[in-house]
A and B are shown apart, each in its own frame.
Chain A
Amino acid sequence: METLALYVPRLLEKKENFAPGHRACSGCGEALAVRMVMKALGKNVIVVMATGCMEIISTQLPYTSWEVPWIHTLFENTAAVASGVVAGREALTRKGKASSRTKVVAMAGDGATADIGVQALSGALERGHDFTYICFDNEAYMNTGIQRSSATPFGAATTTQPVGKISMGQNTWKKDMPAIAVAHNIPYVATASPSYPFDLMNKVKKARDIEGPAYLHILSVCPTGWRTPSDLSVRIGRLAVETGVFPLYEVENGKYTLNIDPPQLRSVEDYLKLQGRFKHLTPEMIKEIQEKVEAKYAELVEKVLFYDGF
């Protein structure tokens, strides 16, 4: 293990295109994910970002953490702005003034993706622009104070779907954004987690090298909003995968692959009990979540097997 610890960092790109000194909370899983994404992407990219945590923490005038060209305009239009950047790149390429290999990468939170920006995203995926869209999912509007989104999981407490005398927090199941992306018949869709750095970076590179739209959905542990200790973010990210709450898979031209397939899923309780946002859950609710997670996981395994010819 010790030798591996010495060796592994050498496999990584040293250059930090998402530079340190930003204002993310300690233990921020999203900042960690962005850092890995930027290591994988390299220099020849243009980043288009939605309003949200990462925008606020990294670009307060007159500072910036971005070592690559970066643009932010609004909350819900990131995929549309990216469409324009791609079209602009095409125009410059026609005139021999830009490289067609410059990748346009849109980044947005779960609210900017699954709620307010879903129309613009659907439009851009349908039109087939050559760009990668990355959703950093911390499962609520964290930047503004933990308001619920459609990506907030069942049972989680948020400030706009709080636990009360007659409420147990979020009463809907998490919107399945990767499935919505898959429904657009795009060449590449994948889920990833910064708790699995090499899997994440390989997927980013794959998405970058594909021509056409690619969608990555990255679960980003948020100590502030999930009410978790800031030194457990990587651990909790692993538990999300090991319990089957957030399986890591990819869909290449419709073909499903499970990237991490534990021989046996851990109980969801292992994941839930570490998080303050779930501390009010009753055994019945935990059972309901367990059943839902197992059913969804079985559906996914079914799709993987189908494409494997079973």
Chain B
Amino acid sequence: MKRVGLESSLAIAEAVRLAGVDVVSAYPITPQTHIIERIAQMVADGDLNASYIPVESEHSAMSGCLGAAAMGVRTFTATAGQGLELMHEVLPVASAMRLPVVMAICNRALSSPLSIWGDHSDIMAARDSGWVQMFAENGQQAFDLTLCAFRIAEDVEVLLPTAINIDGFHLSHVIESVLIPEQGEVDKFLPELPRPYVLDPRKPLTMGDFATPELYIEAKKSQDVALRNSKKVILQAWQEFEGVFGRRYSPVETYRADGASVLLLTMGSFSEVAMEAIDRLRESGEKVGLIRLRLWRPFPFEEFRQVASQADLLVVLDRAVSFGGPGPVCSEVQAALYPLSKKPQVAGFIGGLGGRDITTEGFEDMIRNARKKADAGRLGEVEIIGVRE
């Protein structure tokens, strides 16, 4: 194992190399990240023995992944922002056909106006695509979760495509300190798993049939059950990961949440800034803590409820707008809390769109603001923060 300074995008490429990916089908832009460029270089140098398909669009990138994954080989792609939107039609096909493609998404804003900077608009629009979806907060997690994604996606109990989300620019283009393991350790964690349903002339299968109303809903229920059940394997994979590499991951992670009456909820790299805000507020004696949602799909209802139900007030930051509705994460957590008899009030905020920063002070203000709103009984509406009016 060695510690290196590595851009998070390159850390993901490094994980792809160590995972011994067989096929990479990718389009490098819309907008560009360094993941694919680095993988192309690895293939060119013979450091990664993979078939790399430089396709002509993201739609074809994901379509190429479908074909390769149907052959039963380890398959990877990466995209961001508009690219994920162009893939949109193909995403639910990957999950419905139980094709374990792994994809890194450098989360970006959506046009218009054109913005190449980060927020969560892209992945929130792909939320219901049936993929396993998780969020990384730093370069090490980006590396670790990429390795875990292969372990989870290809498990015979799961066989579902898996996405690792990292914040565009805030994470994808930032150099971080990353521990890179030896090949032997990775091989121990990531053995080649059996794949029961593949395209093989010796055992012909028909994949991707057409279903009348008599069978469609059965197919959809079995898909939903598969995604919900994947949590068991996700927990097991993270446990195995801890066993080999010593780092621990959970669906819902917390920071100084014990005894907190106010909990802030964030996803992705902004969580690390939020931790500083929590430290400051704790120093001034306030009982605040942080929930960092690691696993977005399948939604970890049980773990989330257990943590969130202790608080009086939950402050949720969304980095995407559901125009005319509540923030997507906020509506999700509210729905998760609603059946509970003892539950916190929820204050929803939207911020950090299109690369706008939220500073430590910004998070402190958000929590104070939420308290004021709660005291005044004005929690009904979502507020977009940091806007120049």
B209–A84 CB distance below 8 A: no
Pick the contact of B53 from A60, A67, A119, A127 — CB < 8 Å? A127
* B199 shortest CB reach to chain A, Å: 4
* Contacting residues of chain A (143-195) with chain B, CB-CB under 8 angstroms: none
Q: Kindly state the separation between the CA atoms of A123 and B55 in the bound complex, as whole angstroms.
A: 7
A92–B73 CB distance below 8 A: yes
Q: Which residues in A have their C-beta under 8 angstroms from that of B199?
A: 46, 69, 71, 85, 88
A72–B209 CB distance below 8 A: yes
Q: Kindly state the separation between the CA atoms of A161 and B325 in the bound complex, as whole angstroms.
A: 41
Q: State whether the Cβ of B64 lies closer than 8 Å to any Cβ in chain A.
A: yes
Q: Which residues in A have their C-beta under 8 angstroms from that of B204?
A: 66-70
A83–B55 CB distance below 8 A: yes
Q: State whether the Cβ of B208 lies closer than 8 Å to any Cβ in chain A.
A: yes
- Contacts A61-B215, A82-B67 given; indicate if A69 touches B205 (C-beta within 8 A): yes
Against A, the Cβ 8 Å flags (1 = close, 0 = not) of B58-93 are 011101111111111101000000000000011001
A72–B67 CB distance below 8 A: no
B25–A87 CB distance below 8 A: yes
- Contacts A61-B215, A88-B72, A94-B49 given; indicate if A46 touches B64 (C-beta within 8 A): no
* B22 shortest CB reach to chain A, Å: 4
Q: Which residues in A have their C-beta under 8 angstroms from that of B219?
A: 61
Q: Which residues in B have their C-beta under 8 angstroms from that of A83?
A: 25, 53, 55, 60, 63-64, 67
Q: Which residues in B have their C-beta under 8 angstroms from that of A252?
A: none
Q: State whether the Cβ of A209 lies closer than 8 Å to any Cβ in chain B.
A: no
Pick the contact of B56 from A44, A69, A122 — CB < 8 Å? A122
Q: Which residues in A have their C-beta under 8 angstroms from that of B49?
A: 94
Q: State whether the Cβ of B362 lies closer than 8 Å to any Cβ in chain A.
A: no
- Contacts A60-B210, A80-B59, A80-B60 given; indicate if A69 touches B67 (C-beta within 8 A): no
Q: State whether the Cβ of A90 lies closer than 8 Å to any Cβ in chain B.
A: yes
- Contacts A83-B60, A85-B70 given; indicate if A70 touches B89 (C-beta within 8 A): no
Q: State whether the Cβ of B23 lies closer than 8 Å to any Cβ in chain A.
A: yes
Give the number of chain B interface residues (Cβ < 8 Å).
Answer: 45
B93–A92 CB distance below 8 A: no
A84–B208 CB distance below 8 A: no
B23–A87 CB distance below 8 A: yes
- Contacts A73-B66, A84-B66 given; indicate if A91 touches B201 (C-beta within 8 A): no
Closest to B50 in A: A91
Q: State whether the Cβ of A211 lies closer than 8 Å to any Cβ in chain B.
A: no
Q: Kindly state the separation between the CA atoms of A64 and B67 in the bound complex, as whole angstroms.
A: 19
B93–A84 CB distance below 8 A: no
Q: State whether the Cβ of B375 lies closer than 8 Å to any Cβ in chain A.
A: no
Q: Kindly state the separation between the CA atoms of A165 and B35 in the bound complex, as whole angstroms.
A: 58
B93–A80 CB distance below 8 A: no
Against B, the Cβ 8 Å flags (1 = close, 0 = not) of A87-106 are 11111101000100010000
Q: Kindly state the separation between the CA atoms of A79 and B55 in the bound complex, as whole angstroms.
A: 11
Q: State whether the Cβ of B206 lies closer than 8 Å to any Cβ in chain A.
A: yes
- Contacts A74-B90, A80-B60 given; indicate if A90 touches B51 (C-beta within 8 A): yes
Q: Kindly state the separation between the CA atoms of A70 and B49 in the bound complex, as whole angstroms.
A: 27
Q: Kindly state the separation between the CA atoms of A92 and B323 in the bound complex, as whole angstroms.
A: 46
Q: Which residues in A have their C-beta under 8 angstroms from that of B53?
A: 83-84, 87, 127
Q: State whether the Cβ of B54 lies closer than 8 Å to any Cβ in chain A.
A: yes
A91–B22 CB distance below 8 A: yes
Q: Kindly state the separation between the CA atoms of A174 and B102 in the bound complex, as whole angstroms.
A: 41
* B46 shortest CB reach to chain A, Å: 12
Q: State whether the Cβ of A239 lies closer than 8 Å to any Cβ in chain B.
A: no
Q: Which residues in A have their C-beta under 8 angstroms from that of B54?
A: 127
* Contacting residues of chain B (143-189) with chain A, CB-CB under 8 angstroms: none
Q: State whether the Cβ of A48 lies closer than 8 Å to any Cβ in chain B.
A: yes
- Contacts A61-B215, A69-B199, A87-B51 given; indicate if A74 touches B89 (C-beta within 8 A): yes
- Contacts A81-B63, A84-B63, A123-B57 given; indicate if A68 touches B201 (C-beta within 8 A): yes
Q: State whether the Cβ of B336 lies closer than 8 Å to any Cβ in chain A.
A: no
Q: State whether the Cβ of B97 lies closer than 8 Å to any Cβ in chain A.
A: yes
Closest to B27 in A: A123
Closest to A78 in B: B63
Q: State whether the Cβ of A283 lies closer than 8 Å to any Cβ in chain B.
A: no
Against A, the Cβ 8 Å flags (1 = close, 0 = not) of B260-304 are 000000000000000000000000000000000000000000000
- Contacts A91-B73, A123-B55, A123-B57 given; indicate if A61 touches B68 (C-beta within 8 A): no
Pick the contact of A87 from B60, B67, B203 — CB < 8 Å? B67
- Contacts A77-B90, A87-B25 given; indicate if A61 touches B71 (C-beta within 8 A): no
Q: State whether the Cβ of A55 lies closer than 8 Å to any Cβ in chain B.
A: yes
Q: Which residues in B have their C-beta under 8 angstroms from that of A69?
A: 199-201, 203-207
Q: State whether the Cβ of A25 lies closer than 8 Å to any Cβ in chain B.
A: no
Pick the contact of A48 from B51, B67, B205, B211 — CB < 8 Å? B67
| Chain B interfacial positions (CB closer than 8 Å to A) | 22-23, 25, 49-51, 53-57, 59-61, 63-73, 75, 89-90, 93, 97, 199-201, 203-212, 215, 219
Task: List 30 contacting pairs A-B, 8 Å CB cutoff, sorted by A.
Answer: A46-B201, A48-B67, A56-B210, A59-B208, A59-B209, A60-B211, A61-B210, A62-B209, A66-B206, A68-B204, A69-B203, A72-B208, A73-B90, A76-B59, A77-B63, A77-B66, A80-B59, A80-B61, A80-B64, A83-B55, A84-B53, A84-B63, A84-B65, A84-B67, A85-B71, A88-B70, A91-B71, A92-B73, A119-B56, A127-B53
Closest 3 pairs (CB-CB, A-B): A84-B67, A88-B71, A123-B56
Known: A73-B208, A81-B63, A88-B51. 16 other contacts (CB 8 A): A55-B210, A59-B209, A64-B206, A72-B207, A73-B93, A77-B59, A81-B64, A83-B64, A85-B68, A87-B23, A88-B67, A88-B72, A88-B75, A88-B199, A120-B57, A123-B60
| Chain A interfacial positions (CB closer than 8 Å to B) | 43-46, 48, 55-56, 59-62, 64, 66-74, 76-77, 79-92, 94, 98, 102, 119-120, 122-123, 126-127
